[in-house]
Amino acid sequence: MDTNPSAPSHDEFRASAAAFIAAAVEADEHCPGFGAIMPPALHDRARAWQRRVHEAGFAGIHWPEEYGGRGLDRSYTAIWSEECAKARVQPYLNLQGLILAGEAILRSGTDEQKRRYLPSTLSGETLWCQLFSEPDAGSDLAGLKATAVRDGEHYVLNGQKVWCSNGQFAEQGILLARTDPTEPGHRGISFFLLDMATPGVDVRPLTQMTGDQEFCEVFLDDAETPVDTLLGPEHGGWLVAMEVLQDERGSSGASGLISLERRLAYLASLKGDDQVLGDELMRLLVRGHALKAMLMRSGAGPAAASAAKLLRTELEFDAELLEATLRGADGMLAGESTDRMLYAPGMKIAGGSSEIQRNIIGERLLGLPREPRP
């Protein structure tokens, strides 16, 4: 329970959130839920929705008031996310800004960085993207090659990033680059807050097999970023990034449980004449209920977040394939179901591939020997 004497009760807050969402849906002034990655077609609507949410006091609920939040505890943020999930409404503009960049700045930013970036992030004026993965360093993030060389009051950036969600719209990006090339692996990596309008930053959208362009590749060619855009200590960006990735993998919380329950109810409604397919459907339902039980009792930590991420994305992928099979020839037609099937494989990679999640679970949760490194 929040210790703030002026804080509303949880019931009062839930009622006000539900009423606000219902009114926005009725007036068609909301943004439909899209999860972690904003579809380009919803960009304008998502920005307008973030402004509306911010004006109503439902943005940055647990963020300090001095940065535009309400100063309540995280339980109120969870309630907001639950009510949005129930109404199938997006709780925030995008994961990369409100969860990844925002929380990282709250934890590791200077006072000046917090004042500079947080209010505009909450209002929807600033959209963020994530510049971590590279063509040869995705799941093996410690192998990244992008460099940041100190030159007076700037760092000079060079390299290539890929799978950058919404990079073509973003004003800011969270960037990992190597500041000490003599250090191997994760040592010598720093974390930056990059202005995407900086000369030398070239953003190129990538077309997915869904036909959409949610992701981009980004080229850095002698792009200069001021020293005060360094987040956390120089050469110490790996620890900042690992907390960001934990936020990413464990971001769904109770709202994820609600969407999982809805998904399981939908799967239970499917029917097939083939006994083999019926058996496979039952296996999916058993896996889904096991995941639900784990979400209800699991604690925090990177291993628990990795287990939830692994089980959820693998379940969604297998469910989409089974549904397409049950639809028969209709499974080859364009439409929402086909789009979901084409989209599902990417979720096994985004946020850390399934193979990396299995390594984390094995090494940190089960205590197995570390994977051999060449």
336 in catalytic set: no
Structure tokens at 294: 């784990």
Q: Using CA of residue 254, residue 360, residue 214, residue 57, what is the dihedral sign?
A: positive
B/e letters for 197-230, b = 16+ CB within 10 Å, e = fewer, are: eeeebebebeeeeeebbbbbbbebeebbbeeebb
Q: Considering 82, 103, 214, 248, which one is annotated as catalytic?
A: 248
Rounded Cα distance, 341 and 40, in Å: 19
Identify residue 107 by its one-letter amino acid code.
Answer: R
Rounded Cα distance, 340 and 195, in Å: 33
Residues 6+ apart with CB under 8 A from 270: 281, 323, 326
Q: What is the CA radius of gyration of the chain?
A: 21
Identify residue 228 by its one-letter amino acid code.
Answer: D
Chain centroid, CA 55 distance in Å: 23
Angstrom CA distances, 314 to 89, 163, 175, 202, 318, stand at 24, 20, 28, 34, 6
Q: Using CA of residue 366, residue 316, residue 37, residue 354, what is the dihedral sign?
A: positive
Identify residue 314 by its one-letter amino acid code.
Answer: E
Q: Catalytic positions, please?
A: 248
